[in-house]
Amino acid sequence: MTWAFPLYERYRSLGSKTRARYAELNEKRPDGLPIPPPHLIMKVAGTPEPLVYMQGGELAAQLIVAILSKHNIDIRNLRAMLDFGCGCGRVLRQWQHLKAVEIHGTDYNPALAKWCSRNLPFATVATNRLLPPTRYPDDRFGLVYALSVLTHLTEPLQLAWMNEFHRILRPCGVLLLSLHGASYLPSLSEQESATFLGGQVVTRFEQREGTNLCCAFHPETFVRNVLATNFEVVDFVPEGATGNPHQDLWMLRKR
């Protein structure tokens, strides 16, 4: 029952061992920044473990820098970048060293966005509604990344947000996405597998879109032919989204 999922998330975050590890790591503050409490980490990482939160964010940031560099883009030369679905700063916190770049984040969950605003002073953090648009002007960002975000939305909302990303990206701006791809086929039902292999997105718990309970699975053909219609596919790395295990990495460029 979907009503039980928030209770499960809260229960997982209250374990004494988890809270002890959180207190220890937060006291050390490896990057000098506070670590969000376990119940917020649970909402973005699927686990309340602070080390998973920290390590996953580091891996994701390293991946972003690496794939941009692979295509001759230096992240330090971007004017502005947006972490869409920034959660409680798992990846956003990794950019405090980019002094010449405007760092922005936005999230649907106001509690997560509020934590980032209070604790990551180098970033400008906003909230967004489940439906676009955002308040950002046209052609605002050189980079938008949405890691494990469209994976929790229904197809109509995914397409709506792709149009919004296109609007707020600068000409030739880059969009990075991580999506559930073919590696998840063994976990799909027979009917879901048939839908996926037929090139259609598979979505579970559509009524809970915008939460971790809603889960979408994206065939490569769907991304190329439907999701990325207004973009050039620059790179596709199956299961390449380190920091978001087993998710595919897509690099798209605004046409």
Domains of the chain: 56-254 (3.40.50.150)
* CB environment 152-177: b (16+ within 10 A), e (fewer): bbbbebbbbbbebbbbbbbeebbbbb
Q: Name residue, tokens 């679905």.
A: 85
The residues with which 145 forms a beta bridge, in sequence order, are: 83, 176
Q: What's the confidence (pLDDT) of residue 22?
A: 76
Q: What's the confidence (pLDDT) of residue 14?
A: 60
Q: What's the confidence (pLDDT) of residue 8?
A: 45
pLDDT < 70 positions in the chain: 1-17
Q: How far, CA to CA in Å, does 7 sit from each of 4, 10, 39, 47, 182?
A: 5, 5, 11, 14, 31
Closest CA to 177 of 167, 188, 186, 166: 166
- Contacts of residue 13, defined as CB under 8 A and 6 or more positions apart, other chains included, come to 37, 38, 39, 41, 42, 48
pTM over 0.75: yes
- The answer to whether 130 and 209 have CB atoms below 8 angstroms apart is yes
Q: What's the confidence (pLDDT) of residue 21?
A: 76
Neighbours of 143 (CB within 10 A): 21
Q: Write the pLDDT tens digit of every residue in 196-222.
A: 999 999 999 999 999 989 999 999 999
- Contacts of residue 123, defined as CB under 8 A and 6 or more positions apart, other chains included, come to 83, 86, 89, 92, 95, 103, 104, 105, 116
